Amino acid sequence: MDLQRLEGILSRYACQPADLIPVLQDIQDSYNYLPKDELKVVAERLHLPLAQVFSVATFFTMFSLVPKGKHVCKVCVGTTCHLKGGQRLAESLSNRLGVDIGYTTKDMNFTLETVACLGSCAQAPVMMIDDTYYARVTVDKVPKILKKYQ
């Protein structure tokens, strides 16, 4: 456990129970996931039951209990994107990255996920890598997009 890194995060807060979500967000940003040992310390320091910390950590999709890749690729397979080839796009990414949807590449560079809607239905099919949106993505655009992150 990297206690020094965790203490750096906790030192920014008063360590009240209400700080739980912001603390978890900072840990997620720093570690790219929520390590279980760190969650035990968070529970102690915020005076919360560990079960409550895990409950919050597993409720929100922005948190992950397993390490994610350096880049998170989210492909929309919502209704509009599905009709415009979103599933085909997800399969293409899966084949090109050599990883099933929901998993992380062996080199830890990409985590591939699907989502129900990215809120840009008019530009379907849509995908995101980290904070960058890619609109009207066709399968033939995938290699050029991925190259930016390799």
Please give the residue ranges that form the binding site for ligand FES (CB under 6 A). Answer: 76, 78-81, 117-121, 124, 126
Contact 44, 53 (CB under 8 A): no
Q: Which is nearer to ligand FES, 9 or 124 (CB)?
A: 124
Q: Which two tokens stand for residue 148?
A: 């930016």
| In the complex, least distance from residue 79 CB atom to ligand FES, rounded to whole angstroms | 6
Q: Which is nearer to ligand FES, 109 or 123 (CB)?
A: 123
Q: Which is nearer to ligand FES, 42 or 125 (CB)?
A: 125
| In the complex, least distance from residue 126 CB atom to ligand FES, rounded to whole angstroms | 5
| In the complex, least distance from residue 133 CB atom to ligand FES, rounded to whole angstroms | 9
Q: Which is nearer to ligand FES, 69 or 78 (CB)?
A: 78
| In the complex, least distance from residue 116 CB atom to ligand FES, rounded to whole angstroms | 7
| In the complex, least distance from residue 80 CB atom to ligand FES, rounded to whole angstroms | 4
SS (H, E, C) the chain: CCHHHHHHHHCCCCCCHHHHHHHHHHHHHHHCCCCHHHHHHHHHHCCCCHHHHHHHHHHCCCCCCCCCCCEEEEEECCHHHHHCCHHHHHHHHHHHHCCCCCCECCCCCEEEEEECCCCCHHHCCCEEECCEEECCCCHHHHHHHHHCCC
Residue nearest to ligand FES (CB): 78
Q: Which is nearer to ligand FES, 39 or 76 (CB)?
A: 76
